[in-house]
Amino acid sequence: MPQTTSQTAAPSGASQSAAARPYPNGNVDMGYNPPGVANTDSALPLHPVDPVTHNYTAEDAAPGNIAFRWIHGSEVAAHNRDPRVQVVQYNEDTHIMRQNVCVHWEAPFTYLLFGNAGALLIDCGATANAQFYPLRATVDALIARWAQARGRDTVPLTIALTSGEDLSQNAGLVQFAGRSDTTIVPKPPGAMKAHYGLAQSWPGGTGSIDLGDRVIEVIPTPGTHKDGVSFYDPYCDILFTGDLLFPGRINISNDGDFVASLEKLRRFVAEKPVRWILGGHIDSMFVPGKTHRRFMTFKPYERVLEMGPEVIDDALSAAREIRGQDKMLIRADFSLLNGVSPDARTRDWPEDVPNISVPFHF
């Protein structure tokens, strides 16, 4: 495994802005920051002679950018001309991808993370057909570009799922069958737990995926799915929660497990820094408590994807309130559905959530 470059302290009095925080690639003395260029990985030589390693240790979360507005479909899906897979580079080692709403109405998100020894793809989308949803081609292109910038011949890929039960998170997995230098975490629950070393402790304990100096933590979080897991990236301080927690209609399959998983995440964020929670979908609108209807291929009023860690407390409080009841409960950033239809509606609007009407012109 390549060795990382040692971290050098930032000069005293240095700015603490996102562009100049005490962060390894913001140090002008590092070898891959030639004079006169920005102090980021973009400054790497176009064709490095030797493999370039990255220091993934940072005092704060690695800077990154998330799209303010994602492509959100068309009233007539056949007329849509947006990319089948939208790619946003959060930073040069982290990519966020979204499936086109007109290819599949759930429009799930997938995440590609790089380390010094390999890459990790979290989830695989809702469509198996590569012609309609070219996930593998997109991932292969991103890996090839990253490998060229870092002077690598090969980049081993690990593919892990937030749930093997949910087709919207794993249907695209078949596109990677037979791909070289690829490890696919097994879908069957027993094999998945054994892979992470959790067979005897599930749902307790944690596993890990080492990408080379960037170790992703695997946290069992059943509740919406029996085999649900979340992933924590200590480099960007991001918690990837799949269907367990996202801005939308959360369908609880086991309310006891759901409460326990949220309690676990609350303890987790009390001990480790979390900047963003990134789930598997967006159903919510930009106004509190409102969501787009299921099966829609046009979602013009979407809320942003990212959620702050404080949402865990709200979700846990709501989950405890709804436990043992067949009920839908609306919160500002999400809705919980326990023992009711995914299409359920409710007249019980909470007093602390503004009830703002959204015009439906379609």
Per the structure, the count of domains in the chain is 1
Residue 54 lies in a domain: no
Residue 296 lies in a domain: yes
User: Is the model's pLDDT at 42 over the cut of 70?
Assistant: no
User: Is the model's pLDDT at 27 over the cut of 60?
Assistant: no
Give the model's pLDDT for residue 29: 54
Residue 358 lies in a domain: no
Residue 45 lies in a domain: no
pLDDT digits 0-9 by tens, 83-139 = 999 999 999 999 999 999 999 999 999 999 999 999 999 999 999 999 999 999 999
CA distance 33 to 44: 7
In three-state secondary structure terms, 335 is strand
What 8-state DSSP symbol labels residue 188? S
pLDDT digits 0-9 by tens, 287-306 = 999 999 899 999 989 999 99
Report the chain's mean pLDDT, rounded to a whole number.
87
User: Is the model's pLDDT at 3 over the cut of 50?
Assistant: no
Radius of gyration of the chain (CA): 21
In three-state secondary structure terms, 138 is helix
Q: Which domain holds residue 138?
A: 77-338
Give the model's pLDDT for residue 54: 85
Cis peptide before 51 (omega within 30 of 0): no
Give the model's pLDDT for residue 361: 52
Name every residue whose Cβ is closer than 8 Å to that of residue 263 and which is 6 or more positions away in sequence: 316
Give the model's pLDDT for residue 357: 86
Name every residue whose Cβ is closer than 8 Å to that of residue 222 and which is 6 or more positions away in sequence: 203, 228, 254, 257, 258, 261
Residue 46 lies in a domain: no
CA distance 223 to 146: 36
pLDDT digits 0-9 by tens, 131-153 = 999 999 999 999 999 998 888 99
pLDDT digits 0-9 by tens, 189-246 = 999 999 999 999 999 999 999 999 999 999 999 999 999 999 999 999 999 999 999 9
Residue 190 lies in a domain: yes
Select from 76, 81, 86, 30 the least CA-distant residue to 296. 76
Residue 113 lies in a domain: yes
Name every residue whose Cβ is closer than 8 Å to that of residue 186 and which is 6 or more positions away in sequence: 164, 192, 195
What 8-state DSSP symbol labels residue 150? H
Residue 295 lies in a domain: yes
Domain harbouring 190, CATH code: 3.60.15.10
